[in-house]
Amino acid sequence: MSSNPNDSVPGGQGESRAELTLEQSLVVLAPLVRWLLRSGVQYGPVAQALKGVFLSEARRELEERGSKVTDSALSVLSGVHRKDVRTLGGATVPQAAYSPSPAAILFTRWLTDLRYREQLVDADGQSVDRPRGSLARMGPAPSFEALAREVSSDVHPRTLLDELTRLGLVHAEGEQVVLAADRFVADPRHTHASQTLAANTGDHLSAAVHNLTRPDQHRFLEQNVFADGLSLASVQALHNVARSLWSKSFDVMVKSATDRVNADMDDPNANSRMRFGVYYYHERVVPTAINPAQRDVVDGA
């Protein structure tokens, strides 16, 4: 397969690969621009900041190719003027890695650690494994104090309890700390929420771009299910299905990841990170003359 970005794309009606990629990238950029506008960020600062992003990624591409990184090479590959290359050539872009807060770690461990789970019988008489609905506030494990001290030796258990209470994830009842939610969701008004969005979306796009542009290398999991012709009641019902599926996957992946982290604790080469996520989105589609028979459910790679 040719690496020339101006090669015609099969079935693209004469469009070059670069033109088609630019056209499709606008679909990706639209929700990003929506976020920027709602946060008070206008076009000018974004256009200026993008120069640094293009230069940072151009440097990365040249290094991966084993090419010499010069101002001229950066300018030719990125399209950024050499004057700006000299000014911004050393620019770096924040990475997608995001370290969860001690409160998030504590809450997740409460939900998934076997020591903090219990066997219950549901309304149908079936045995189910669930997080303990409450923990003793003080005392040996399993207690909130013991769990908090496992998570952090620098943050006092009371401070973690106050933070989880503020987030609406737990509440105190006498000497018990009671779960008030089944998943940790960052407060959208908090910096952590935007950091999480950047990290999750950045890694999702990185996986997709790798699969699209490195066909000779391993492929990351990056799949989806799409359906249209649905009522509002149906998309809400499917959202509940998605939440249920994620709940099961979440528990399994957290346990597996914890086991691997513990197993790699003393490995000097354990310098990699991973992220596993899932999303669900629905919106109203502008009515068209599509034949109902054309509506379908499809999977997307």
For 179-209, give the secondary structure using H, E and C: ECCCCCCCCCCCHHHHHHHHHHHHHHHHHHH
What is residue 2's predicted lDDT score, i.e. its pLDDT?
38
Is-contact 21 11, C-beta < 8 A?
no
Interatomic CA distance for residues 147 and 160, integer angstroms: 10
- With cut-offs at 50, 70 and 90, classify the pLDDT of residue 54: very high
Concatenate the DSSP letters of all residues of 37-106 into one string: HHTT--HHHHHHHHHHHHHHHHHHHHHHHT----HHHHHHHH---HHHHHHHTT-----S--PPPHHHHH
Average pLDDT over residues 270-290: 83
More confident residue, 140 or 286: 140
Is-contact 144 161, C-beta < 8 A?
yes
* Residue appearing with tokens 């012709």: 229
- For the ranges 74-78, 100-104, 238-242, 288-292, which has the lowest average pLDDT? 288-292
What is the percent of the chain where pLDDT is above 90? 46
DSSP 16: B
Average pLDDT over residues 106-135: 81
In the chain, the N- to C-terminal Cα span, in Å, equals 20
Average pLDDT, the chain: 84
More confident residue, 270 or 127: 270
Question: What does the H/E/C string look like for 204-271?
Answer: HHHHHHHHHHCCCCCCCCCCEEEECCCCHHHHHHHHHHHHHHHHHHHHHHHHHHHHHHHHCCCCCCCC
Query: What are phi and psi for residue 56, nearest 5 degrees?
Result: -60, -45
CA dihedral for 51, 210, 186, 110, sign (positive or negative): negative
- The domain defined by 102-179 carries CATH number 1.10.10: yes
Helix/strand/coil for 153: coil
What is residue 159's predicted lDDT score, i.e. its pLDDT?
94
Pairing of strands 224-227, 170-173: unpaired
Nearest to 142 by CA among 162, 169, 113: 113
Interatomic CA distance for residues 77 and 89, integer angstroms: 13
Is-contact 109 150, C-beta < 8 A?
yes
- With cut-offs at 50, 70 and 90, classify the pLDDT of residue 14: low
- For the ranges 193-197, 220-224, 296-300, which has the lowest average pLDDT? 296-300
Q: Has residue 297 got a pLDDT over 70?
A: no
- With cut-offs at 50, 70 and 90, classify the pLDDT of residue 250: confident
Is-contact 170 177, C-beta < 8 A?
yes
What is residue 284's predicted lDDT score, i.e. its pLDDT?
87
- For the ranges 115-124, 181-190, 231-240, which has the lowest average pLDDT? 181-190
Max Cα distance, the chain (Å)? 73
What are the tokens at 233? 């009641």
What are the tokens at 2? 């040719």
Interatomic CA distance for residues 195 and 97, integer angstroms: 9
Average pLDDT over residues 80-103: 76
Helix/strand/coil for 27: helix
Interatomic CA distance for residues 93 and 87, integer angstroms: 15
- With cut-offs at 50, 70 and 90, classify the pLDDT of residue 3: very low
